[in-house]
Amino acid sequence: MSEAPFSLWVYLSQSPLLWLTVTLLVYAAADAVSLATHRHPLANPVLHSLWIIGAFLLVTRTSYTTYFEGAQFVHFLLGPATVALAVPLYENRKLVVASILPMLIALVVGSATAIVSVVWLAEAAGLPHGVVLSLAPKSVTAGVAMGIAEQLGADPSLTAVSVVLTGIMGAIVVTPLMNRAGITDFRARGFAAGIAAHGIGTARAFQVDAVAGVFSGIAMSLNALVTSFLVPLAVTFLIR
Amino acid sequence: MIASLSLILLCQLIGEAFVRGLGLPMPGPVIGLLVLLLLLLARDRFPSLARGPLQGDGVEGASRGLLAVLSLLFVPAGVGVVQKLHLLAEHGVALLLILAASVVVTLLATVGTFLLASRLMTRKGAP
């Protein structure tokens, strides 16, 4: 009698259907809570989805590989979503063209700050060499950062984790930080969110203000380009 | 809807082929973004392009739909943290503090540079 539910679980836990459903359900619940709290920064839907799903995997002793077989359908959409950023960019093209120069200067400064600060701090804290390398590209979107880590011979899965953690922290901290600093220019606020916290920062920026979302999306795309060039350079000069 | 999604995928495909073909160190979807942007701009110049997904709210609607769920898309990669628990147990506090400090410094440096540059520009532009 007790065999039947167990074999059903064995069957379902190996199928992509279960893990895709879990991913969507948990996110939908986390997003509903975020909406109910009027998008409070600490109710970040990614943060709460991560620990709930993570705990679920640990309790059911499910491997990440099995989970990812279902979740990969969601993960895949990161690419098309990057292409889709063309639309808000197109719709706000006049505003973007008008602020092209501040954007480019802030891009170079922000991108370099993101890399240099994390490499210096990690070296100062005495983290192992492999960990420092894996942290260096943490401010760009997951797919790109993992590619950079691979080129460097670092650990792409550690990079992916540091990318998502960075994104969540950026998304949580950006609104209170900018409000406290008295910054009301939503172009600048959004741009900073996209440089520091890539897609998760951009998702947060779209929640706060449409213009901030557009500038964050542009920042995230441009940063993907610049960081691919800067990280190998920084690694050569900063890491002994 | 299907045509609009196909167009988005097609742009990404062109981007990936371009990047891999030339061995460029940048992500394919970013080139895909440029391709879609050029298509939208070309549609304004040549009205004959406004058909299929480039007509009405086709590709625009599909893109807004995707961007509305952008944060969901990071969940699968983020759950990978369960594979790194031993590392977090060992260096977790240092790791979190370093990432937090770096994100705050980056946010402030970027926003400060943006505002400074835009103020300098408007001052120069004003008579």
In tens, the pLDDT along A95-118 reads: 888 888 999 999 999 999 999 999
- Residue A227's Cβ-count burial label (10 Å; 0-12, 13-18, 19+) is buried
Indicate the average pLDDT of chain B: 88
Q: How many domains does chain A have?
A: 2
Q: Please give the pLDDT value at position A6.
A: 80
Q: Do A150 and A38 reside in the same domain of the chain?
A: no
Query: Cβ of A87 and B64 within 8 Å?
Result: yes
Tokens of B60: 């625009």
Q: Which residues of B touch A103 (CB under 8 A)?
A: 114
The Cα–Cα gap between A114 and A231 comes to 10
Taking only the tens place, the pLDDT of each residue in A169-228 is 999 999 999 999 999 999 999 999 999 999 899 999 988 998 899 899 889 888 887 887
Residue A198 backbone class (left: φ over 0; alpha: ψ -120 to 50; beta: rest): left
Q: Which structural domain, as residue segments, surrounds residue A136?
A: 82-238
Q: Please give the pLDDT value at position A212.
A: 93
The Cα–Cα gap between A167 and A179 comes to 19
Taking only the tens place, the pLDDT of each residue in A172-185 is 999 999 999 999 99
Q: Please give the pLDDT value at position A1.
A: 47
Q: Does A96 touch chain B (CB under 8 A)?
A: no
pTM, entire model: 0.85
Residue A210 CB neighbours (<10 A): 14
Query: Cβ of A106 and B41 within 8 Å?
Result: no
Q: Which of A205, A221, A16 is nearest to B36 (CA)?
A: A221
Q: Do A61 and A134 reside in the same domain of the chain?
A: no
Q: Which residues of A touch B78 (CB under 8 A)?
A: 46, 49-50, 160-161, 164-165, 168
- Nearest-by-Cβ selection for B118 from A102, A203, A225: A102
Domain edge (last residue) among A39, A54, A76: A76
Using only C-alpha atoms, chain B has a radius of gyration, in whole angstroms, of: 21
Q: Which of A20-29, A40-49, B5-14, B20-29 has the lowest mean pLDDT?
A: B20-29
User: Best interface-test mutation with B: which of A46, A83, A221 has the largest number of B CBs within 10 A?
Assistant: A83
| Section A66-91 average pLDDT | 90
Q: Do A138 and A210 reside in the same domain of the chain?
A: yes
Interface of A with B in 15-74 (CB under 8 A): 23-24, 26-27, 31, 44-46, 49-50, 53-54, 57-58, 64, 67-68, 71-72, 74
Q: Do A197 and A114 reside in the same domain of the chain?
A: yes
Q: Do A113 and A224 reside in the same domain of the chain?
A: yes
Band (B104; pLDDT cuts 50, 70, 90): very high
Band (A240; pLDDT cuts 50, 70, 90): low
Q: Do A199 and A148 reside in the same domain of the chain?
A: yes
∠ CA A64-B71-A37, rounded to 5°? 115
Q: Do A89 and A56 reside in the same domain of the chain?
A: no
Q: Does A186 touch chain B (CB under 8 A)?
A: no
Q: Please give the pLDDT value at position A22.
A: 95
Tokens of B10: 């097609």
Q: Does A103 touch chain B (CB under 8 A)?
A: yes
Taking only the tens place, the pLDDT of each residue in B22-39 is 987 677 888 898 999 999
∠ CA B94-B97-B100, rounded to 5°? 145
Query: Cβ of B111 and A181 within 8 Å?
Result: yes
Give the chain A residue whose CA is nearest to the CA of B57. A87
Exposure of B11 in the CB half-sphere (CA atoms within 13 A)? 30
Q: Do A12 and A131 reside in the same domain of the chain?
A: no
A34 touches A44 (CB < 8 A): yes
Q: Do A209 and A95 reside in the same domain of the chain?
A: yes
Enclosing H/E stretch for B111: helix B85-125
Say whether pLDDT at B17 is over 80: yes
Higher pLDDT, A150 or A20: A20
Q: Tell me how many helices (H) and strands (E) chain B has.
A: 5, 0
Taking only the tens place, the pLDDT of each residue in A30-77 is 999 999 999 999 999 999 999 999 999 999 999 999 999 999 999 999
| Section B72-82 average pLDDT | 89
- Residue A55's Cβ-count burial label (10 Å; 0-12, 13-18, 19+) is exposed
**Cβ pairs bridging A and B (under 8 Å):** 299
A78 touches B73 (CB < 8 A): yes
Sign of CA dihedral B65, B66, B67, B72: positive
Q: How far is A180 from chain B (nearest CA, A)?
A: 12
- Torsion over CA of B17, B22, B25 and B27, rounded to 10 degrees? -20
Q: Do A68 and A86 reside in the same domain of the chain?
A: no
Taking only the tens place, the pLDDT of each residue in A126-154 is 888 889 999 999 988 877 788 788 888 88
The Cα–Cα gap between A220 and A192 comes to 9
Domain edge (last residue) among A13, A46, A76: A76
Query: Cβ of A50 and B81 within 8 Å?
Result: yes
Q: Which of A223, A68, A204 is nearest to A140 (CA)?
A: A223
Domain edge (last residue) among A47, A76, A105: A76
Q: Do A44 and A90 reside in the same domain of the chain?
A: no
Indicate the average pLDDT of chain A: 90
- Collect all residues with Cβ–Cβ distance below 8 Å to B65 and sequence separation of at least 6: none
Say whether pLDDT at B120 is over 50: yes
Q: Do A200 and A105 reside in the same domain of the chain?
A: yes
